[in-house]
Amino acid sequence: MSSKLKRDIKILVFEFVTGGGMIQQQLPESLAKEGGVMLKALVEELAMFPSVQITMLLDWRCQQMDLPDGIEVILLSTGQCVYDVLPALIEKTDLVWPIVPEMDDELQKFSILVEAKAKQLLNSSVEAVRICSDKLITAQLLKKHGIAVVETSLFDGFLADLFETYVVKPKDGVGCINCFLISNANEFEQIKNLIKNRSDYIIQPYIEGETISLSCLFKSGKAWLLCCNQQLISISKGQFELDACVVNIASNNMEIYQAIIDRIAKVIPGLWGYVGIDIIHAENKQPLIVEINPRLTTSYAGLYQALGINVAQNVMQMLNGEPQINRTNNQSVTV
């Protein structure tokens, strides 16, 4: 896509947390911060093209966000429902770019809405979203096709090996919300009693190693690795917290990671656009897939500065062909 488009293109950008998806409840500080960072990065990249007309929703509590000029911002107030507003906005646009979490099937529900309106979704297909929104289904599918994953089981009915340390998390969780570290039988029982719907949670062995995320582009069974990122995660009182992400770290494993995402692209051909993949890579062992995020991730916010790549431009190019990735920078950026 050149900076001069043949005609004006109308794009609706919808970030769920800051865009009114949680208008009826208190905004989770961590999710609002991450959502705002991704939203700002995306609209800044799209705003580089004067013929792209951007419309976005914004929770009234987030209206102080610093955004580029020329964006149509629709404020939602308390008492409104975002799904009462979205259908008409989708009707009036050409392209729709969601930054919506997988939790409670929100990304899948939104994707179905856009596809039903026969509008171009700048994201993965509904089927790919359905698979990746459930960490258990994702792990089972990848394992079936010989792709190494962290061993994943349903928490409900799981019989713990008391000599191992485990991680318990929601099947459709985002970030580190409600992720627990269990080190002994007593903690296992405590978490078991704390979680009401245990069938909505998975359990995985805790594995020491580098917590890596891969920033990728996918289209029709093909994949392009943009960079490798380091997730800085801390553990406090048995719960995980993402402190920061170092975008574009130096790695000797880029060919290995590219080979992995090539295989993932074949297994889940509906992956499209930007996708983030979390892995654990222990020293002298093969990397293990933790989860696939079929949407923008926090790392996205640092890509333009780190690589000099306008990822939004590349995604737009993918509507008519393959991305033309041209790195003009190579540095690490912390977001």
User: In this structure, what are the phi and psi dihedrals at residue 69, rounded to the nearest 5 degrees?
Assistant: -70, 155
Q: What is the pLDDT of residue 120?
A: 95
- State the Cα–Cα distance between residues 168 and 132, nearest whole angstrom: 18
20 Rama class: left (phi>0) / alpha (psi -120 to 50) / beta: left
- State the Cα–Cα distance between residues 100 and 109, nearest whole angstrom: 10
DSSP helix, strand, coil percent of the chain (3-state; round to 5): 30, 30, 40
| Sign (positive or negative) of CA dihedral 164, 169, 171, 173 | negative
- State the Cα–Cα distance between residues 101 and 107, nearest whole angstrom: 6
Q: What is the pLDDT of residue 187?
A: 87
> Domains in the chain, start-ordered, CATH in brackets?
9-122 (3.40.50.11770), 132-147+208-334 (3.30.470.20), 153-205 (no CATH)
Amino acid occupying residue 213: S
- State the Cα–Cα distance between residues 314 and 38, nearest whole angstrom: 16
Q: 79-121, pLDDT tens digit by residue?
A: 899 999 999 999 999 999 999 999 899 999 999 999 999 999 9
Q: What is the pTM of this model?
A: 0.93
- State the Cα–Cα distance between residues 82 and 59, nearest whole angstrom: 9
Q: What is the pLDDT of residue 235?
A: 82
- State the Cα–Cα distance between residues 30 and 38, nearest whole angstrom: 13
User: In this structure, what are the phi and psi dihedrals at residue 262, rounded to the nearest 5 degrees?
Assistant: -60, -40
Closest CA to 219 of 274, 173, 146, 182: 274
Q: What is the pLDDT of residue 162?
A: 63
pLDDT tens over the chain, length 335 residues: 333 444 589 999 999 999 999 999 999 888 899 999 999 999 999 999 888 999 999 999 999 899 999 999 999 999 899 999 999 999 999 999 999 999 899 999 999 999 999 999 999 999 999 999 999 999 999 999 999 999 999 999 887 666 689 999 999 877 777 889 998 888 888 888 889 889 999 999 999 999 999 999 999 999 999 999 999 988 877 778 788 999 999 999 999 999 999 999 999 999 999 999 999 999 889 999 999 999 999 999 999 999 999 999 999 999 999 999 999 999 999 99
User: In this structure, what are the phi and psi dihedrals at residue 112, rounded to the nearest 5 degrees?
Assistant: -60, -40
Rounded to the nearest 10 degrees, what angle do helices 106-116 and 82-91 cross at?
A: 30
| Distances from the Cα of 324 to the Cα of 48, 222, 265, angstroms | 17, 14, 18
Task: Please check whether residue 260 is in contact with residue 228, taking contact to mean a CB–CB distance below 8 angstroms.
Answer: no
- State the Cα–Cα distance between residues 68 and 48, nearest whole angstrom: 9
Q: What is the pLDDT of residue 7?
A: 57
